[in-house]
Amino acid sequence: MTLKEKASYVKGLVEGFDLDKDKKENKALLAIVDLLDDISESTLELENRMDDAVDQVEDMADEMEEISRRICRCHGEDSCGFHGESDSSDDDFFYDVACPYCNTTVCLPESRIIDDSFSCPSCGQEIKIEIANSDSDDKSELYIESSTSEDSTDSKD
Protein backbone atom coordinates (compact mmCIF):
# COMPACT_ATOMS: atom_id res chain seq x y z
CA MET A 1 0.00 0.00 0.00
CA THR A 2 1.44 3.38 -1.01
CA LEU A 3 1.65 6.39 1.26
CA LYS A 4 -1.16 8.10 -0.65
CA GLU A 5 -3.36 5.01 -0.30
CA LYS A 6 -2.69 4.85 3.45
CA ALA A 7 -3.53 8.54 3.89
CA SER A 8 -6.76 8.04 1.93
CA TYR A 9 -7.62 5.02 4.10
CA VAL A 10 -7.12 7.01 7.32
CA LYS A 11 -9.15 9.90 5.89
CA GLY A 12 -11.98 7.47 5.03
CA LEU A 13 -11.92 6.04 8.56
CA VAL A 14 -12.16 9.48 10.14
CA GLU A 15 -14.93 10.59 7.78
CA GLY A 16 -16.82 7.40 8.70
CA PHE A 17 -16.96 8.52 12.34
CA ASP A 18 -19.35 11.38 11.48
CA LEU A 19 -17.46 13.64 13.83
CA ASP A 20 -18.90 16.95 14.93
CA LYS A 21 -16.67 19.44 13.07
CA ASP A 22 -17.34 22.18 15.65
CA LYS A 23 -15.60 20.37 18.55
CA LYS A 24 -11.97 21.34 19.17
CA GLU A 25 -10.73 17.76 19.38
CA ASN A 26 -12.38 16.82 16.11
CA LYS A 27 -11.01 19.93 14.37
CA ALA A 28 -7.50 18.87 15.37
CA LEU A 29 -8.05 15.30 14.15
CA LEU A 30 -9.50 16.50 10.81
CA ALA A 31 -6.58 18.94 10.38
CA ILE A 32 -4.11 16.08 11.00
CA VAL A 33 -5.88 13.94 8.38
CA ASP A 34 -5.73 16.82 5.86
CA LEU A 35 -2.04 17.28 6.68
CA LEU A 36 -1.41 13.57 6.07
CA ASP A 37 -3.15 13.87 2.72
CA ASP A 38 -1.04 16.92 1.75
CA ILE A 39 2.18 15.20 2.85
CA SER A 40 1.35 12.07 0.87
CA GLU A 41 0.67 14.16 -2.27
CA SER A 42 3.93 16.10 -1.83
CA THR A 43 5.85 12.86 -1.30
CA LEU A 44 4.32 11.34 -4.43
CA GLU A 45 5.29 14.45 -6.43
CA LEU A 46 8.86 14.27 -5.08
CA GLU A 47 9.08 10.57 -5.91
CA ASN A 48 7.93 11.28 -9.47
CA ARG A 49 10.44 14.09 -9.84
CA MET A 50 13.18 11.84 -8.46
CA ASP A 51 12.26 9.12 -10.94
CA ASP A 52 12.45 11.71 -13.75
CA ALA A 53 15.86 12.88 -12.49
CA VAL A 54 17.16 9.30 -12.36
CA ASP A 55 15.94 8.75 -15.92
CA GLN A 56 17.70 11.93 -17.04
CA VAL A 57 20.96 10.91 -15.35
CA GLU A 58 20.78 7.48 -16.99
CA ASP A 59 20.14 9.11 -20.37
CA MET A 60 23.11 11.44 -19.84
CA ALA A 61 25.31 8.50 -18.88
CA ASP A 62 24.29 6.72 -22.09
CA GLU A 63 25.01 9.88 -24.10
CA MET A 64 28.43 10.27 -22.43
CA GLU A 65 29.25 6.67 -23.27
CA GLU A 66 28.32 7.32 -26.90
CA ILE A 67 30.43 10.50 -26.95
CA SER A 68 33.41 8.66 -25.51
CA ARG A 69 33.02 6.01 -28.22
CA ARG A 70 32.98 8.74 -30.87
CA ILE A 71 36.23 10.28 -29.61
CA CYS A 72 37.95 7.33 -31.19
CA ARG A 73 35.85 5.71 -33.88
CA CYS A 74 37.46 2.32 -33.37
CA HIS A 75 37.48 2.45 -29.55
CA GLY A 76 36.34 -0.88 -28.25
CA GLU A 77 37.08 -2.62 -31.54
CA ASP A 78 40.25 -4.38 -32.62
CA SER A 79 40.30 -2.82 -36.09
CA CYS A 80 43.08 -0.33 -35.43
CA GLY A 81 45.57 -2.82 -34.06
CA PHE A 82 46.03 -1.14 -30.69
CA HIS A 83 42.98 -2.10 -28.63
CA GLY A 84 43.42 -4.95 -26.25
CA GLU A 85 47.15 -4.36 -25.85
CA SER A 86 48.54 -4.77 -22.39
CA ASP A 87 50.07 -1.28 -22.31
CA SER A 88 46.80 0.59 -22.74
CA SER A 89 44.49 0.93 -19.78
CA ASP A 90 40.75 1.56 -19.68
CA ASP A 91 41.52 5.10 -18.46
CA ASP A 92 43.56 5.97 -21.57
CA PHE A 93 42.38 8.77 -23.81
CA PHE A 94 42.53 7.82 -27.49
CA TYR A 95 43.82 9.98 -30.33
CA ASP A 96 43.11 9.63 -34.05
CA VAL A 97 46.45 9.95 -35.86
CA ALA A 98 46.73 9.92 -39.66
CA CYS A 99 49.71 7.93 -40.94
CA PRO A 100 51.77 10.24 -43.20
CA TYR A 101 52.67 7.28 -45.47
CA CYS A 102 49.40 5.51 -46.18
CA ASN A 103 46.89 8.10 -44.81
CA THR A 104 45.27 5.43 -42.65
CA THR A 105 43.75 6.85 -39.48
CA VAL A 106 45.18 5.03 -36.51
CA CYS A 107 43.57 5.23 -33.11
CA LEU A 108 46.27 5.40 -30.45
CA PRO A 109 45.89 5.22 -26.69
CA GLU A 110 47.61 8.01 -24.81
CA SER A 111 50.13 5.53 -23.40
CA ARG A 112 51.32 4.82 -26.97
CA ILE A 113 51.62 8.54 -27.76
CA ILE A 114 53.97 8.92 -24.79
CA ASP A 115 56.19 6.14 -26.23
CA ASP A 116 57.41 8.66 -28.92
CA SER A 117 56.84 6.32 -31.88
CA PHE A 118 54.74 3.47 -33.22
CA SER A 119 54.50 1.30 -36.30
CA CYS A 120 51.48 1.86 -38.49
CA PRO A 121 49.39 -1.33 -38.41
CA SER A 122 48.44 -0.83 -42.08
CA CYS A 123 51.77 -0.09 -43.81
CA GLY A 124 54.28 -1.04 -41.10
CA GLN A 125 56.16 2.28 -41.29
CA GLU A 126 57.70 3.70 -38.12
CA ILE A 127 56.02 6.96 -37.16
CA LYS A 128 57.71 9.25 -34.64
CA ILE A 129 55.59 11.42 -32.41
CA GLU A 130 56.65 14.54 -30.57
CA ILE A 131 54.49 16.23 -27.94
CA ALA A 132 55.26 19.90 -27.46
CA ASN A 133 53.62 22.47 -25.21
CA SER A 134 52.29 25.50 -26.97
CA ASP A 135 53.56 28.77 -25.47
CA SER A 136 50.27 30.59 -25.85
CA ASP A 137 47.63 28.42 -24.19
CA ASP A 138 49.49 25.78 -22.17
CA LYS A 139 48.02 23.22 -24.56
CA SER A 140 49.90 20.20 -25.81
CA GLU A 141 50.28 19.77 -29.56
CA LEU A 142 51.01 16.54 -31.35
CA TYR A 143 53.67 16.57 -34.09
CA ILE A 144 54.25 13.60 -36.37
CA GLU A 145 57.61 13.12 -38.04
CA SER A 146 57.99 11.11 -41.21
CA SER A 147 61.06 8.93 -40.84
CA THR A 148 61.23 5.57 -42.48
CA SER A 149 63.49 2.67 -41.75
CA GLU A 150 64.17 2.64 -45.50
CA ASP A 151 66.02 5.98 -45.20
CA SER A 152 68.82 4.33 -43.24
CA THR A 153 68.95 1.03 -45.17
CA ASP A 154 68.72 2.28 -48.76
CA SER A 155 72.34 3.46 -48.95
CA LYS A 156 73.64 0.24 -50.54
CA ASP A 157 76.17 0.74 -53.40
pLDDT tens per residue across span 19-48: 888 899 899 999 999 999 999 999 999 999
Distance between start and end Cα atoms, the chain? 93
Which tens digits make up the pLDDT trace of 45-100? 999 999 999 999 999 999 888 776 666 555 455 445 554 444 445 556 777 778 88
> Residue 78: what pLDDT?
46
Confirm whether pTM is higher than 0.75: no
Ramachandran category for residue 76: left, alpha or beta (phi over 0 → left; psi -120 to 50 → alpha): left
Lowest mean pLDDT among 8-12, 52-56, 61-65, 119-123: 119-123
